[in-house]
Amino acid sequence: MVNGAGAAGISCSELYITAGAKRENFLMCDSKGVIHDGRTDLNPEKKRFAVKTDKRTLADALVGADVFLGLSVGNCLTKEMVRSMNSGAIIFAMANPTPEIFPADALEAGAAVVGTGRTDFPNQINNVLGFPGIFRGALDVRATDVNEAMKLAAAEALTEIAAAKVDPETYAALKLAYAKDAAAGMFDGDAPLALNYVIPKPFDPRVVPHVARKVAEAAMKTGMARVAIPDLDAYEKSVKERIKRANS
C-alpha cells in the first residue's frame, strides 16, 4: 500500500514492479483517497495504478496490507490502521521531519519492521545511500543513462552490505559514527541483518564503493557503459581509497 502518488511514490512503485512485485497487488492513495478505476481526475502516471476496488480511504486500503510505503504527510497513519494490516507488517514512513507514524507507535501496534528518513531512529532510509555510489559508478564507466538495472543493482548492493559480516576497519568507523548502536551489538555477528537493521547506515564506509561497483557492473552488462572496468574488485577498492584520501 503506497500513500503518496507524487514523483517519489510513483517512481518507487515502478521500481518495485521492475524488481518483481505485481502491479495488481498495489493500492495507492493520493490526497483524495484510493486511486481506483472509477476516478476521472487521474493523470497518466496515476492511471497506471488505478485498480478496480471498493476501497476509498487510506484506512480502507490498509486492511490486510503487508507493506505501507509512506511518501506523504506526517501523522497520517494511526495505530489502529497498523493493527488492521497483516501480521508482521513492514512500515516505511518517509515523511520528514514528522513521519507518517513514529516507530514506537508502529511497533507497539504490531509492525515487524519500521523505517523512516530520520537519523534518530533505526532503519534510516536516506538518499545518501544511493546517489553518491550510483553517480560514481555511472561516471566511471561513462554511462549513457541510468537504467532500471543500474537502480536495482544499487538496491542489491545495500542488501549485500546489510547482510555481510562487518570487518574490523568498518566496525571502527561505525562505532565512531553510531556508538549507541555499536554498544547494543547491531553490527556484531556473521550476518547483522535484523528487524532494526534492514539497511546499512548512511555513514557505513562500504556503501559508496560497493554501490558504485554494482552500478558500474550493471551498466556494462546492459550496454550503458562506454568504458569497461576489467577488474571490479580492484575498482571497488580504489573507490574506497579515493574516499579515504578525500576525507583525510
CATH number of the domain where residue 27 is located: 3.40.50.720
Outline where DSSP puts E strands in the chain: 2-3, 28-30, 33-34, 67-70, 90-93, 113-116
The reply to whether 140 and 222 lie within a common domain is: yes
- The answer to whether position 133 is within a domain reads yes
C-alpha dihedral (215, 216, 219, 223), degrees to nearest 10: -170
The reply to whether 133 and 241 lie within a common domain is: yes
- CA 173 – CA 244 distance, rounded (Å): 12
- CA 151 – CA 210 distance, rounded (Å): 13
pTM greater than 0.85: yes
| All cell numbers assigned to 222 | 546492459
- The answer to whether position 122 is within a domain reads no
pLDDT of 247: 85
Domain that holds residue 158: 127-247
Q: CB neighbours of 103 closer than 8 A, spacing ≥ 6?
A: 93, 114, 116, 121, 122
Q: What is the mean pLDDT of each run of 10 residues along the chain (248 residues)?
A: 97 96 96 97 97 97 98 97 98 97 98 97 96 98 98 98 96 96 95 95 97 99 98 98 90
The reply to whether 6 and 109 lie within a common domain is: yes
pLDDT of 248: 80
| All cell numbers assigned to 131 | 546517489
- CA 51 – CA 48 distance, rounded (Å): 9
**156 three-state secondary structure:** helix
Q: How many domains does the chain have?
A: 2
pLDDT of 30: 97
The reply to whether 57 and 144 lie within a common domain is: no
The reply to whether 58 and 146 lie within a common domain is: no
- The answer to whether position 121 is within a domain reads no
**60 three-state secondary structure:** helix
- The answer to whether position 34 is within a domain reads yes
The reply to whether 107 and 8 lie within a common domain is: yes
- The answer to whether position 39 is within a domain reads yes
The reply to whether 148 and 213 lie within a common domain is: yes
Find the radius of gyration of the CA atoms of the chain: 20
The reply to whether 104 and 142 lie within a common domain is: no
Which among 116, 112, 216 has a CA at the least distance from the CA of 157?
216
pLDDT of 230: 97
- The answer to whether position 29 is within a domain reads yes
- The answer to whether position 148 is within a domain reads yes
Vertex 236 angle, CA 234 and 240, to 5°: 115
The reply to whether 131 and 112 lie within a common domain is: no
pLDDT of 70: 98
How far lies 50's CA from each of 6, 30, 35, 53, in Å? 14, 11, 5, 9
